[in-house]
Chains A and B, each alone.
Chain A
Amino acid sequence: MTGYRLQLRNLRKRFGDLDVLGDISLTVRRGEFVSLLGPSGAGKSTLFKILTGATEADAGTIHFDGQPLATRPSPFAFMPQHDALMPWRRVLDNTTLGLEVQGLARAAARKRVQPLFAEFGLAGFEKHYPAQLSGGMRQRAALLRTVVQQREMLLFDEPFGALDALTRASMQRWLQAMWQQHSWTALLITHDVREAVFLSDRIYVLRGRPARMLTEIAVPLPRPRIDLTSPEASAIEARLLDTLLNQSPD
Chain B
Amino acid sequence: MSIVKLSMRLVTSALLRAAPAALALGAVVLAWEAYALFSGISPTTLPAPSRVVTQAWEHRLALLDNMLPTLAATTIGFVYSLLAAFAFSVLVDFIPPIRRGLFPVLIVSQTLPLVAIAPLVVLWFGFGLGPKIGLVALVAFFPMLVALVQGYAATDRDIEALLASMGAGRLRVFLLARLPSSLPYFFAGIRISITYAVVGAIFAEYAGAAKGLGIYILNAKNNFRPDLVLAAVLVSSALTLMLFGIVVLVQRLVMPWDRLERRSP
Contacts and interface: CB of A to CB of B under 8 A. Distances in A.
Q: Do these two chains really belong together in a complex? A: yes
Interface stretch (B10-18, B57-65, B162-170): B162-170
A86 interface: yes
Nearest to B180: A88
Contact of A81 (B158, B165, B256): B158
A73 B161 CA distance: 17
B180 A102 contact: no
Interface stretch (A3-11, A49-57, A170-178): A49-57
Interface in A108-128: none
A78 B162 contact: yes
A101 B167 contact: yes
Interface in A65-115: 73-74, 76-78, 80-82, 84, 86-88, 97-98, 100-102
Contacts of B166: 78, 97-98, 101-102, 149
A132 B260 contact: yes
A129 interface: yes
Contact of A80 (B161, B263, B264): B161
B165 A78 contact: yes
Chain A: interface residue count, which band? 20 to 34
B72 interface: no
Given A80-B158, A82-B158, A54 B260 contact: no
A52 B161 contact: yes
Interface residues of B, number: 23
A132 B159 contact: no
Nearest to A78: B165
B204 to A, nearest CB: 37
B247 interface: no
A53 B164 contact: yes
Most A-side CB within 10 Å, residue of B163, B167, B168, B172: B167
Contacts of A53: 164-165
Contacts of A131: 257, 260-261, 263-264
- Please report whether the interface of chain B is mostly helix, strand, loop or mixed according to DSSP: helix
Contacts of B161: 49, 52, 54, 78, 80, 84
Contacts of A155: 165
Contacts of A73: 167
Interface string B127-165: 000000000000000000000000000001011011111
Contacts of A130: 257
A80 B161 CA distance: 8
B177 interface: yes
Contacts of B163: 97, 101
A250 B235 CA distance: 72
Given A97-B176, A131-B264, A80 B183 contact: no
A132 B158 CA distance: 20
Nearest to B259: A131
B250 interface: no
Contacts of B263: 131
Most B-side CB within 10 Å, residue of A81, A84, A102: A84
B164 A52 contact: yes
A47 to B, nearest CB: 13
17 contacts: A52-B161, A53-B164, A54-B161, A78-B161, A80-B162, A82-B158, A84-B158, A84-B159, A84-B162, A86-B180, A100-B176, A101-B172, A129-B261, A130-B257, A131-B257, A131-B260, A155-B165
Given A86-B159, A88-B180, 18 more contacts: A49-B161, A52-B165, A53-B165, A54-B161, A54-B164, A82-B158, A84-B156, A84-B158, A87-B257, A87-B261, A97-B162, A97-B176, A98-B166, A129-B261, A131-B260, A131-B261, A132-B260, A149-B166
